Amino acid sequence: MSHAFYNVLHIVGLVLLTSSLAGILMHRQTGTGERPRMLAILHGIGLFLLLLAGFGMLARLGIMWPWPGWVVFKVVLFAVLGAFPALSKRFDAGIGWWIAILLILLAAWTGITKPF
Ligand code: HEM
């Protein structure tokens, strides 16, 4: 698969993940009862596409182990975003929005600028 194909898949994963985080936080602030299962499904598929396409792009860019700092940082961000639904129960939903926005901004900035 081409780099462009993985890049599109990576962005689709980002959109699905972001939608799930928004749904989880909205449900925390306004919802009642069980969290819709669709949010967990969107979260899982979003993470899977980000991971698959992220490593696909690394391969196309010829980036192997040992990874540069920015890739390690992205994998850490990925893990935190993966745990976000559980972690979000520990802090106020209002703060949760800012944490989610910051995590996604950092992942995008790191992927585009590769700063370290
Ligand atoms: C295992 C985790 C991840 C890996 C290995 C990974 C890998 C990459 C790579 C290699 C690029 C650069 C592609 C290039 O310069 O051609 C990239 C770009 C990007 N990544 Fe990731 N990424 C991961 C997780 C994430 C996460 C969690 C997000 C956001 C929630 C994210 C958002 C982005 C964005 C927005 C870009 C810029 C794409 C573009 O320039 O069109 N990534 N990622």
- Token digits of residue 76: 């850490």
DSSP for residue 62: T
> Residue 91 above 80 pLDDT?
yes
Question: Nearest C-alpha to atom 8 of ligand 1 is from which residue?
Answer: 54
Token pair for residue 104?
A: 């996604």
Average pLDDT, the chain: 95
Strand residues in 11-108 grouped as ranges (E): none
Q: What would the pLDDT profile of 33-76 be if each residue is shown by its tens digit?
A: 888 999 999 999 999 999 999 999 999 999 999 999 999 999 99
Q: Is the CB of 12 under 6 A from ligand 1?
A: no
Angle (nearest 5°) at CA 52 between 103 and 105: 15
Closest atom of ligand 1 to 81 CA is: 27
Say whether the peptide bond before residue 115 is cis (omega within 30 degrees of 0). no
**What are the residue ranges spanned by the domains of the chain?**
3-113
